[in-house]
Amino acid sequence: MTRSARVLPVLLLSQAVSAMFPRAQNISWKSTNFKTVLTWEPKPSADYSYTVEFSVVGGDKERNHHCVRSSSTTCDLSMSLTNLDVCYTADILSEPPLGVTSDLTEFPHSSAPRFCPTTDTDIGRPEFQIKEHEDKKSVTLYVSDPLTALFKDGRQQNIRDILSDKLYYKVTYRKNKSSGKKELESKSSNIEVTGLDPEDGYCFSVQASIPSRTAKQLGEMSQTVCSNNTNQSIIKDYSPGVIAGSILFVVVAISIIIAVTVTCCRRKRKGPKNRRVRT
């Protein structure tokens, strides 16, 4: 038998198996604050299912029991990727549904891209509070380190527990009525911003910063929070021209109202006299 004759049955069998158990496609990792989920397509029919195998690159393959012969197209591996400082790979096998046997020993599979938790997870938006100092020339931002999906000794860990001294926070701030922005970076979660104008209010935004990364160095930007501004006056808020124009408008409006009121009163007074003369 020639080599081509031997290869043909194997090729036909492979095509038949792929038709019975279609391979997973569009595989991607979705990870925020170390909550890591593997996703793929398409949704399987009733004739087949998916099993996920994962491993440290070059290591032995493991399985998460929630992702064995499942009809789902997601697999949460957050608690399975225990070593955050290494890189992982995963295979998605297309197999018979749970409880169905098959004579095949190998099933079609697709491989996921490499994933490294410490460098690849996205960092979500932090929350923070502002404390103004009495002199109004500085404020302190108290940032709450975002919580992760991981636990240690029964306590939910935050991103500082995991990233330690790799974690910084970048603060972007501006005067309340200005578009000009300033930035500063701090290694602490309690950030003092100095050199502020005591007669102006300021708005602040915060995001995690990880300079040691080659990509994804910045996390999601927080919501903007503005400081109170008890010293701000109307003259500081608006130019003299705007204030003068507003006063003039009010004066003119009042004058018009008075003139209309006086005219109406005079007409009412003249009305009865005119009617008596005609009679």
Domain harbouring 58, CATH code: 2.60.40.10
Identify the three-state secondary structure at position 39.
strand
Q: Which domain holds residue 211?
A: 127-233
With a CB cutoff of 8 Å and minimum separation 6, the contacts of 25 are: 40, 41, 42, 110
Q: Does residue 241 form part of some domain?
A: no
Neighbours of 144 (CB within 10 A): 13
Co-location of 116 and 150 in the same domain: no
User: How many structural domains is the chain composed of?
Assistant: 2
What is the predicted pLDDT for the residue at 9? 44
Q: Beta-strand (E) ranges in the chain?
A: 25-32, 35-41, 49-56, 62-63, 74-76, 88-95, 109-111, 127-132, 139-144, 147-152, 155-158, 168-175, 182-186, 190-193, 202-209, 225-226
Co-location of 109 and 205 in the same domain: no
248 confidence band (pLDDT: 50, 70, 90): confident
Q: Does residue 17 form part of some domain?
A: no
Q: State how far the alpha carbon of 238 is from the alpha carbons of 129, 179, 249, 253, 271, in Å.
A: 29, 16, 16, 21, 48
Co-location of 95 and 157 in the same domain: no
Q: 45: which 2 tokens?
A: 């029919």
Q: Does residue 65 form part of some domain?
A: yes
Co-location of 116 and 138 in the same domain: no
For residues 147 and 95, what is the distance between their CA atoms, to the nearest angstrom?
Answer: 36
Co-location of 141 and 95 in the same domain: no
Confirm if 112 and 60 have CB atoms less than 8 A apart: no
Q: Does residue 242 form part of some domain?
A: no
Q: State how far the alpha carbon of 42 is from the alpha carbons of 91, 96, 127, 221, in Å.
A: 15, 15, 37, 33
Co-location of 71 and 161 in the same domain: no
Q: Which amino acid type is present at position 113?
A: P
- Quick: pLDDT tens for 211-228: 999 999 999 999 999 987
Co-location of 94 and 185 in the same domain: no
What is the predicted pLDDT for the residue at 271? 57
Looking at the predicted structure, is the pLDDT value of residue 181 above 80? Answer: yes
Q: Does residue 83 form part of some domain?
A: yes
Co-location of 111 and 194 in the same domain: no
Which has the closest alpha carbon to 100: 144, 61, 47? Answer: 47
Confirm if 160 and 126 have CB atoms less than 8 A apart: no
Co-location of 114 and 135 in the same domain: no
Q: Does residue 227 form part of some domain?
A: yes
Provide the mean pLDDT of the chain.
85
Q: Does residue 260 form part of some domain?
A: no
Looking at the predicted structure, is the pLDDT value of residue 138 above 70? Answer: yes
For residues 71 and 80, what is the distance between their CA atoms, to the nearest angstrom?
Answer: 20
Q: Which amino acid type is present at position 79?
A: M
Q: Does residue 161 form part of some domain?
A: yes
